[in-house]
């Protein structure tokens, strides 16, 4: 997507409302502002202004490193505790409230019909589907869908776009276009499923991580090194399916499945249960605390952001350089 197309798309959504200004909501706010979208934050906490402005200040170096404008971001920022006044004139709403279905249903019901027909109604939820959230809506359910980010949204590219049963095709297209114009990587999740996609993968992998540490096979530090020096590096470049296709050699997946599918099926059937009881949690916590967890969170976040920016920039620099397959 070229710069002019991005600007044209963002012009359709000049006024965004961010509902809920926790870590994810504040991160969305910083990203929207950096792309020239005016933001109204709706959050009942008395100290919300200081929380959001402090988050934007801390996110500014990351935004700059990503090549985004980061000067005077708060000029287009305002706060409105009254929901009705906050959403008046909104072109887009990004909701980041509690993962309680009653809260989300009542919230969208109170917004229903109070925004223009073009407005996008987006939820950052990782647990509640758009179908569930829209049950009390009578007018605007067709514009509601999940736009689930990976934290923090101003840095991690992925947004899972998950339509509900009542979501209109046009809203899906508009959401994908909007997130892409922000520099995100929006991917449509074609079936509503608990945890969507990325979190399901993350949970499955983390389950095995905990199992290996609790069995004394490795420490938490050793496991982190193993992942970042192998599958983390590989999957950042290619992803699981492309990687395993290459693992099959010239025969691709045909050869891979012929050789490895019996062993994989056996391993999947015999995976031992993992219990995160108090003793198990203490084992992991104690190991982490003796290592990286002893550092201040701000230091760990800065180190994480620097590494992830380096990966993003390196992959972006290589994009388009690979030769196209011969016809």
Q: Is 168 helix (H, G, I), strand (E, B) or coil?
A: coil
Asked whether the predicted pLDDT for residue 327 surpasses 70, the reply is no
Confidence of residue 175 (pLDDT cuts 50, 70, 90): very high
d(CA 58, CA 300): 13
- Asked if 13 and 89 touch (Cβ cutoff 8 Å), the reply is no
- What domains appear along the chain, each with residue ranges and CATH number? 3-188 (3.40.50.720), 199-294 (1.10.1040.10)
Asked whether the predicted pLDDT for residue 19 surpasses 70, the reply is yes
Q: Could you tell me the end-to-end alpha-carbon distance of the chain, in angstroms, rounded to an integer?
A: 26
Output the CA angle 5-12-1, nearest 5 degrees: 20
**Tens digits of residue pLDDT in 131-165:** 999 999 999 999 999 999 999 999 999 999 999 99
Asked whether the predicted pLDDT for residue 301 surpasses 60, the reply is yes
| Residue 104, C-beta contacts closer than 8 angstroms, at least 6 positions apart | 95, 97, 123, 125, 128, 132, 133
- Asked if 159 and 147 touch (Cβ cutoff 8 Å), the reply is yes
Distance of CA 80 to the CA centre of its chain: 25
**Tens digits of residue pLDDT in 86-134:** 999 999 999 999 999 999 999 999 999 899 999 999 999 999 999 999 9
Nearest CA to 29 out of 59, 65, 68, 2 is that of 59
Order of strands across the sheet that contains 158-163: 77-79, 38-42, 15-19, 92-95, 120-123, 144-149, 158-163, 185-188
Strand 185-188 and strand 38-42: the pairing is: unpaired
Mean pLDDT in the chain? 94
| Residue 295, C-beta contacts closer than 8 angstroms, at least 6 positions apart | none
Burial 219-233 (b: 16+ CB within 10 A, else e): bbeebbeeeeeeeee
């Amino acid at each position: 997507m070229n710069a002019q197309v991005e600007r044209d798309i963002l012009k359709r959504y000049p006024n965004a409302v961010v509902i809920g200004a926790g870590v994810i909501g504040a991160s969305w706010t910083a990203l929207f502002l950096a792309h020239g979208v005016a933001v109204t934050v709706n959050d009942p906490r008395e100290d919300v202004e200081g929380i959001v402005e402090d988050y934007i200040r801390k996110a500014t170096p990351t935004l700059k490193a990503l090549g985004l404008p980061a000067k005077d971001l708060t000029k287009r920022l305002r706060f409105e505790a009254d929901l009705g006044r906050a959403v008046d004139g909104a072109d887009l709403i990004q909701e980041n409230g509690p993962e309680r279905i009653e809260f989300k249903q009542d919230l969208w019901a109170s917004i229903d019909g109070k925004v223009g027909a073009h407005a996008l109604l987006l939820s950052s939820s990782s647990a509640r589907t758009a179908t569930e959230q829209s049950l009390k809506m009578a007018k605007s359910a067709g514009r509601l869908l999940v736009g689930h980010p990976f934290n923090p949204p101003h840095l991690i590219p992925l947004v899972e776009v998950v339509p509900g049963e009542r979501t209109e095709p046009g809203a899906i297209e508009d959401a994908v276009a909007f997130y892409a114009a922000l520099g995100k990587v929006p991917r449509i999740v074609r079936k509503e499923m608990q945890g969507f996609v990325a979190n399901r993968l993350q949970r499955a992998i983390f389950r095995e991580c905990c199992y290996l540490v609790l069995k004394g096979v490795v420490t938490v530090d050793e496991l982190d090194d193993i992942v970042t020096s192998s599958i983390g590096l590989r999957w950042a470049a290619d992803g699981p399916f492309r990687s395993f296709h290459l693992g099959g050699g010239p025969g691709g997946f045909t050869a891979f499945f012929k050789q490895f599918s019996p062993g994989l099926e056996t391993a999947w059937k015999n995976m031992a249960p993992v219990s995160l009881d108090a003793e198990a949690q203490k084992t992991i916590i104690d190991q982490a605390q003796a290592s990286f967890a002893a550092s201040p969170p701000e230091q760990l976040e800065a180190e994480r952001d620097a590494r992830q920016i380096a990966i993003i920039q390196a992959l972006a620099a290589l994009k388009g350089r690979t030769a196209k397959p011969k016809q």
